[in-house]
Amino acid sequence: MLSVVELCNSEEDASSVATTGDVAIDTPLHSADEDNESTGTANDLDDGWSDHNRWYCNICKDGGELLCCDRCPRAFHMSCLGMSDDCIPDREWFCKMCSECLDRRRLKKETKEKARVMRETEKLERDAKRRKAEQMKEDMLTKKSVEAIEHKAKRVLEMQDRILSRRKVKYKDKEEEKLGRLAEDLAQTVRTAKEKLEKLEKEDASLRRKEETLNKRKRGIDDVPPEVMEDTSRPDKPTPILCDFANIPEKCVGKLLTVWDCIHAFRGVLELADISVDQFGQALTYPKYSPMLTEIHMCLLERILEDRDDEDYVSDEEGAMDDGERYRYEIQHAPLTVGLDRRCASLHNTGDVHIRGRI
């Protein structure tokens, strides 16, 4: 005895469908075009089929009371389906082929929905990772900026403390003040003599080294044959270097070279890196804030404060001031100031290179 599926797929069923002109789904296998139909087209097609079910059973090909599919034109006897009369459905009923087709469509829709949810979840995870990386980078840059600001502020506060730490020396009477000044003058004389003595000792040692070097060279020259000796009477000239002074006025180039030569000569004392003439000229003419000039100011001010740390005497003019007024007096009369405005440098006609600053 043939099964329901075999009977549904029989050639007789196909020929009968061709004769009646109805559209039937006689196989459980569906093409990709049928599965990709839109929902609106399927609903319209189903509505059209529901009123045109066949008058005969799709299995036995006989008429009679038939159970009609609500999706396709097929109809069946209850007995051919193996169902009793009590099992008549009270709502929409679909044959086996339509049920399988609907199950495939539902499964495909669920798969697409699941894939869409997974794609959205992965996108959210990627966005979260990217935001986390950007936040970490921003926090790191903020931390470095805060550390740099704290370092600069610490240096400025240390200089302020060192200036304010110079306490005023108060004398009881004029006689004590006179003796104190005399003692300070004597101490200054001793320090000056000591410095001169150290300077003379260094010059003497330098002259001795030069003399020894000269004697060694003379002995070496005597040992060299005359035909091998080279003419060293005129030393080689230094190689000229091209410098860019496009933004510096011609009358200020000499002043610029003088200031740069001073900074370059004392860069070891100031603990500065080697600065070229072009770099210094660009820093002076830079329209915005220049860290190089600020660092030079700070180093010079540190050396000035180191020289003043040992001074205990305060003049009468400074003695009448309190700590705040004295601090302002020190800042106003200091050779260099802390901080720079946007126009870091300006070359004046007074013969010096002035760097304007502000506190």
pLDDT band at 47 (very low <50, low <70, confident <90, very high): very low
Q: Across residues 299-314, what is the average pLDDT?
A: 68
Q: Across residues 249-255, what is the average pLDDT?
A: 78
Q: What pLDDT score was predicted for residue 214?
A: 85
Q: What pLDDT score was predicted for residue 84?
A: 77
Q: Which of 3-17, 32-46, 299-313 has the highest mean pLDDT?
A: 299-313
- 8 A C-beta contact, residue 287 and residue 346: no
Q: Across residues 267-295, what is the average pLDDT?
A: 78
User: Given a cut of 50, is residue 339 above it in pLDDT?
Assistant: no
Q: What pLDDT score was predicted for residue 221?
A: 65
Which residue would you say has higher pLDDT here, 191 or 237? 191
Which residue would you say has higher pLDDT here, 280 or 212? 212
| CA 150 to chain CA centroid, nearest Å | 20
Average pLDDT in the chain: 71
Q: What pLDDT score was predicted for residue 246?
A: 64
User: Given a cut of 50, is residue 139 above it in pLDDT?
Assistant: yes
User: Given a cut of 70, is residue 186 above it in pLDDT?
Assistant: yes
Q: Across residues 207-235, what is the average pLDDT?
A: 70
Q: What pLDDT score was predicted for residue 126?
A: 93
**pTM of the shown model:** 0.28
End-to-end CA distance of the chain: 108
Q: What pLDDT score was predicted for residue 267?
A: 79
Percent of the chain with pLDDT over 70: 62
- Which pLDDT tens digit goes with each residue over 12-26? 444 443 334 333 333
Q: What pLDDT score was predicted for residue 123?
A: 93
Q: What pLDDT score was predicted for residue 6?
A: 46
Q: Across residues 228-240, what is the average pLDDT?
A: 59
Q: Across residues 304-323, what is the average pLDDT?
A: 63
Full 3-state SS string of the chain: CCCHHHHHCCHHHHHHHHHHCCCCCCCCCCCHHHHCCCHHHHHHHHHHHHCCCCCCCCCCCCCCCCEECCCCCCEECCCCCCCCHHHCCCCCCCCHHHHHHHHHHHHHHHHHHHHHHHHHHHHHHHHHHHHHHHHHHHHHHHHHHHHHHHHHHHHHHHHHHHHHCCCCCCCCCHHHHHHHHHHHHHHHHHHHHHHHHHHHHHHHHHHHHHHHHHHHHHHHHHHCCCCCCCCCCCCCCCCCCCCCCCCCCHHHHHHHHHHHHHHHHCHHHHCCCCCCHHHHHHHHHCCCCCHHHHHHHHHHHHHHHHHHCCCCCCCHHHHCCCHHHHHHHHHHCCCCCCCECCCCCEECCCCCEECCECC
Q: Across residues 331-343, what is the average pLDDT?
A: 50
Q: What pLDDT score was predicted for residue 137?
A: 92
Q: Across residues 62-81, what is the average pLDDT?
A: 84
User: Given a cut of 70, is residue 272 above it in pLDDT?
Assistant: yes
Q: What pLDDT score was predicted for residue 318?
A: 63
Q: What pLDDT score was predicted for residue 138?
A: 92
Q: What pLDDT score was predicted for residue 338?
A: 43
Q: What pLDDT score was predicted for residue 140?
A: 92
Among 3.90.1300.10, 3.20.20.60, 3.30.40.10, 3.30.70.260, name the CATH number for the domain at 4-105: 3.30.40.10
